[in-house]
Structure 1
Amino acid sequence: MGRAFEFRKERKFKRWAKMAVQFTRIGKDIVMAVKEAGPHPETNSRLRTAIQNAKAVNMPKDRVDAAIKRASDKSMANYEEIVYEGYAPHGVAVLIETATDNTNRTVANVRSYFNKTNGTLGKTGSLDFVFNRKSVFRFVPADDLDLEELEFELIDAGLEELYVEADEEGNDIAVAQGAFESFGSLQKALEEKGIELKSSKLERIALSHHEVTEEQAADVLKLIDKLEEDDDVQAVYHNMPD
């Protein structure tokens, strides 16, 4: 009974820790969106996207409103978005998106993570041939929604692929994917069809995968875990198979 309690306690702590990281990242997205185009989601698509993503991870509305209010303060500095690229152990490509108010701190931290795990931090653009940036929208498909018909209707908005995947709880999630340039048109088309989006993101999709053993994958994950724990890191991508 003691072990079961400790296991549940550990899982709960991990859930809270993950939620805190998600809230921090979305809070930064909100700040950058407001600084870019104002505090009104009706006229600011990037802010509207950030609010959608906040709802998807159950971020409290008062925290969202507080982030918008803070960002509206002209004295608050904006975050700078910087992408870092490199190779983890065993030749796995790793791309890191960051949002920071101190670039010296961020690059020093990222470099130290690579060094400590026998990886190599590379130059910007060195992984252009490995990852392609895509517009990715996720939503819960309604029982009466015909995905084949929806796929056909979204082609003119820039849809490249529509498929269903399972989320962490095993529930079906529909994924609409298009080119980087189609983000706005796809988002608008989905909203006009009354589809409530679970998340809207620009993601880096690996064009090919680098095969590794389980032991090698564990080495790579040590680097990825260190990166994902950093407050300045917004997203980490790699080209290991799922």
Structure 2
Amino acid sequence: MPKFKLFKDRKGKADQAKNNKFVKLAREIYVQARSGGPSPESNFGLKNAIAAARAEQMPTENIERAIKRATGNSDNVEYAEIMYEGYGPGGVAIMVRCLTDNRNRTAADVRAVFNKRGGNMGESGCVSYMFDHKGLLVINREDFGADEDTVMMQALEAGAEDVIVNEDSFEILTHPHEFEQVKTALENEGYGFTEAGVRWLPQTMVKAEGENAEKLMKMMDAFEDNDDVQDVYVNFELEGDSDHD
């Protein structure tokens, strides 16, 4: 199992409502196109958002509609990016990244999820010190025949900070500002990625088991169901998970 596996990837696809997922993806595309322009060739954030949408098999017309809305004159909706921090059952650290057009609504919704599931929302900075803000690129080893030394050399020469070698993947870490440079360089070498983006990665992991694990899973489901929530970063793994699974 990759060391930095996003929690949303742990959930089976069957329990995720496609419409809910598409709403989140469309909002991300809208925000990126609104801030950086409609061309993915000159707007790296939009390029990544479109790639994420296509990975989830979002229809092309949905993607184009989101870009058109963002660049048209008739839509005055503005989304703010907000990060909420707090603690889940057992004291695990949780960061919730939101895109919202109504801060009061979103803050109340996120706080309610924490409170109802045995956690509590804290002040800004209360858990972010337990995470590192990094660019993350994951290469599936089965898809490419390159050996470890080659991938490591190419990644480090491109500007990566570190390469973590797993049984089934290479995880390449970058400074957030170097992410685009490293991704482009590796794409030019012929690589593709199963995960690519700037993330908050936990410095250490804690095990969740029993009742706490059940509450945490329900909390993750509740965040997933909220249209304003784009990503959830956590420092726990379920009992039985390991890097050797």
Identify the TM-score tier after normalising by the shorter chain: 0.7 to 0.9
Distance across 2 between alignment mates of 1:108 and 1:195: 42
Deviation at 1:139, TM superposition (A): 4.0
RMSD after superposition: 2.1
Q: After the TM superposition, which of the residue ranges 80-89 and 197-206 deviates more from structure 2?
A: 197-206
Contact 2:136 2:199 in 1 (8 A): yes
Which residue identity is paired with 1:112?
A
Mark the CA change 1:162 to 1:20 in structure 2 (over 3 Å): closer, same or farther.
farther
Distance across 2 between alignment mates of 1:214 and 1:180: 36
Contact 2:165 2:171 in 1 (8 A): yes
Q: How many pairs were matched up?
A: 224
Q: Which residue of 1 aligns with 2:219?
A: 223
- Secondary structure of the residue aligned to 1:71 is helix
Deviation at 1:45, TM superposition (A): 0.8
Deviation string, structure 1 residues 124-169 (Cα, Å, up to 9, x no partner): 111122111111123444343334302211103332124346xxxx
Bigger Rg, structure 1 or 2? 1
Contact 1:158 1:178 in 2 (8 A): yes
Which residue identity is paired with 1:23?
F
Q: Which residue of 2 aligns with 1:86?
A: 86
Distance across 2 between alignment mates of 1:147 and 1:75: 51
Contact 1:161 1:178 in 2 (8 A): no
Q: Which residue of 2 aligns with 1:163?
A: 165
Contact 1:134 1:180 in 2 (8 A): yes
Which residue identity is paired with 1:122?
G
Mark the CA change 1:197 to 1:100 in structure 2 (over 3 Å): closer, same or farther.
same
Mark the CA change 1:187 to 1:13 in structure 2 (over 3 Å): closer, same or farther.
closer
Structure 1 unaligned spans of 5+: 1-10, 166-171
How do 1:39-78 and structure 2 match up within 5 A?
39-76=38-75, 77-78=77-78
Q: What TM-score do the two structures reach when normalised by structure 1?
A: 0.84
Distance across 1 between alignment mates of 2:166 and 2:27: 29
Deviation at 1:85, TM superposition (A): 0.3
Q: What TM-score do the two structures reach when normalised by structure 2?
A: 0.83
Distance across 2 between alignment mates of 1:24 and 1:174: 30
Q: Which residue of 2 aligns with 1:4?
A: none
Percent of matched pairs sharing the same residue: 33
Q: Which residue of 2 aligns with 1:130?
A: 130
- Secondary structure of the residue aligned to 1:191 is helix
How do 1:121-200 and structure 2 match up within 5 A?
121-141=121-141, 142-159=143-160, 160-164=162-166, 172-200=168-196
Contact 1:52 1:199 in 2 (8 A): no
Distance across 1 between alignment mates of 2:110 and 2:57: 29
Q: Which residue of 2 aligns with 1:31?
A: 30
Q: Which residue of 1 aligns with 2:208?
A: 212
Distance across 2 between alignment mates of 1:162 and 1:12: 26
Which residue identity is paired with 1:236?
V
Which residue identity is paired with 1:156?
E
